[in-house]
Structure formats: structure tokens, C-alpha cells
Amino acid sequence: MQQSLRDLDRAYENFFKKRAGYPRFKSKHNHTQSYRTNNNGNSIRIVDKKIKLPKVGFVKINQSRTFEGRILNATVSHTASGKYFISLCVEMDKEKLLHPNAGGKIGIDVGLKEFYSDSNGNTIANPRVLKKLSKKLAREQRKLSRKMPKSKNRKKARIRVAKVYEHIANIRKDFLHKLSTQLVRENQTIAVEHLNVNGMIKDHRLAKSISDVSWSEFFRQLEYKAELYGGELLKVDTFYPSSQICSSCGYKNTKTKDLGVREWTCPKCGVHHNRDINAAKNILYKSLEDKQLF
């Protein structure tokens, strides 16, 4: 209650200072519902395998990871499939969070067909979670649509749909987190292209696969994780023609503008290129060059 009032206060302040639109009511339908509560004194604490929450008391938990430090607040959420989660905001010693990285340098070219290609010559495939599970999702949604409004069976069917959605989201999150952690562990410098993902999603043909592979979330993870591993995420300007330049000699081959050209041989130096790996190399070189200039 207190936190909601504080949030409302801030929402109005943001609105009057023209930083945001007029506050809207929080929806109570069909998605994750949540509330946040502050730790006053010791009102939120973990004892054995239970957590104490204000007004709620002790509840049994499955703690996903341990931590040292003061709990600032807790967000309790309830997913559409009926699971409860508690996220704790914890104040920690930054030193304890920092780890060394292995000192590598890597350029990354994200793609639609593959998740990305890197400057070391590796290509990482998409998990294609939506494709695999979308049939199941469609089936459950069809069943849901045939149920009587407000019936018990409709409620059950809605939970089944929500479960498939959550499964898809969990596979995607797991994929992104594993990849981003591995990259920041191995590299001091990670170079990516600065993407206008919002602009791209407006193109509906690309929308489904782009939101499926979720690059912006991937870059966000790389950015905060690189900081924890003492590395850096560099972003190269979108207008840099990374797929047209020969990464060996610098020759600009405009014939590769066509997205269909997957492989090409440089007419100047004769090196044979894989389109995406060559682009990833250029993204790395360009980012290092830009860094020297500034």
C-alpha cells in the first residue's frame, strides 16, 4: 500500500515534468501481477527455508541463489500460470560481485537466420523456441477458445496456455543468460552493432523472429555483466557497412549489399569470406578504431 502510493506520487511527478504520460491503472487481468514492499527494520528476512514478508508472515521458499547483504525491498509476483516469485533487491559489496575475465576480444554480428556470428568464426544458432512450441501453444489456444465463458474448464485451459508461454519465455531467458555470461567471462572487449530494434519490429515480416531472438535483452545483459567482469561492451554505428568491407584488406565490395550473398571472395586480396563472420570481424575492428579516436 505504502509503496503503491509512493509509486503513484512519482508517476504524477514524471507526468507533470513531461517525462511520462498520464498514469494508468495497473491491469488486473491475464498476466503477471505483482506488488513491492520495503524492508523496514527487519520486516523482510530469510530464516532457514522461509521468508518473512510484511502482513503475510513466513512463507516457504525455494531460494535460487544465496547472497550476503541487506535486503532493501521485495517484489512478490504471481504469474498467469499460478506460480509465485519473490525478487529481493539486495545491497551488496561491489567488490564481491566483481570477477576477472579471460581478456579476449570479440565482435558479434546478429542475424535473422542465426542468433549471431562472431569474429572467431563461430556461429550460434537460434533456439527457435517459438517454432517448436508454437504448435502446442496454438493447440492449447484453440481449446481455450472453445470453452464456455467464466467456466471452470475455461480457467483450467487458460492456465495451460499460460504455462506454454512461460515455458517459451524460460527457454529464451536461459539461452540468453548462458550465452551472455560465457561471453563476458571470456572477453575484455565485446563489440556489437548499435541496433534500432524498435524500428525493425515495425516491419511485420521481421517482427516475429526479431522479438523471438530478443537482441535488445541480450545486449542489455552483456552491458551489465561486462561491468561485473571488468570488461566493456562497445557499440558500432548502424551505418557502418560491416558486411561490405573485406576484413583482411579493407576493400569495399558493394556487391555484397544483397542479403542473399552468404559467401564471397575479395576481388582485391583473394580472401574467401563468410558474410556474417566477416561482418563480425569488421564490427570488432571498427569499435577498436573508434575507441582510439575518442
CA distance 190 to 104: 8
What is the chain's percent helix, strand, coil content, to nearest 5?
Answer: 40, 20, 35
Close Cβ partners of 77 (under 8 Å, ≥ 6 residues apart): 32, 33, 34, 84, 85, 86, 87
CB closer to Zn ion out of 85 and 251? 251
Of 37-45, 116-124, 189-197, 263-271, the window that binds Zn ion (rule: CB under 5 A) is: 263-271
| Calpha distance 80→43 (Å, rounded) | 28
- Compare residues 120 and 248 and give the one whose CB is closer to Zn ion: 248
Tell how far CA 277 is from the center of its chain: 23
* Catalytic one of 109, 118, 140, 212: 109
203 catalytic? Reply is: no
Shortest distance in whole angstroms from residue 96 CB to Zn ion: 47
Among 13, 249, 259, 289, binds Zn ion (CB under 5 A): 249
Question: How many chain residues bind Zn ion (CB under 5 A)?
Answer: 7
E strand or H helix at 46, and its extent? Answer: strand 45-47
> Is 193 a residue of the active site?
yes
The CA distance from 72 to 77, in Å, is 17
Q: Looking at 246, 279, 283, 284, which residue binds Zn ion (CB under 5 A)? A: 246
Provide the minimum distance between the beta carbon of 91 and Zn ion in the complex, in angstroms, as a whole number.
53
- Rounded Cα distance between 169 and 176, Å, is 11
Binding mask 268-287 for Zn ion (x = CB under 5 A): xx------------------
Name every residue whose Cβ is closer than 8 Å to that of residue 288 and which is 6 or more positions away in sequence.
Answer: 105, 189, 191, 234
Please give the biggest Cα pair distance in the chain: 73
Euclidean distance between CA atoms 157 and 140, whole angstroms:
7
- Say whether residue 92 binds Zn ion (CB under 5 A): no
Q: Is residue 263 a contact point for Zn ion (CB under 5 A)?
A: no
- Nearer Cβ to Zn ion (39/243): 243
When binding is defined by CB under 5 A, the residue of 58, 248, 261, 288 that contacts Zn ion is: 248
Give yes or no: 276 in active site: yes
Q: Judged by CB, which is closer to Zn ion: 132, or 252?
A: 252
Judged by the rule CB under 5 A, the positions of this chain that interact with Zn ion are 246, 248-249, 251, 266, 268-269
Which residues are catalytic, by number? 109, 193, 276
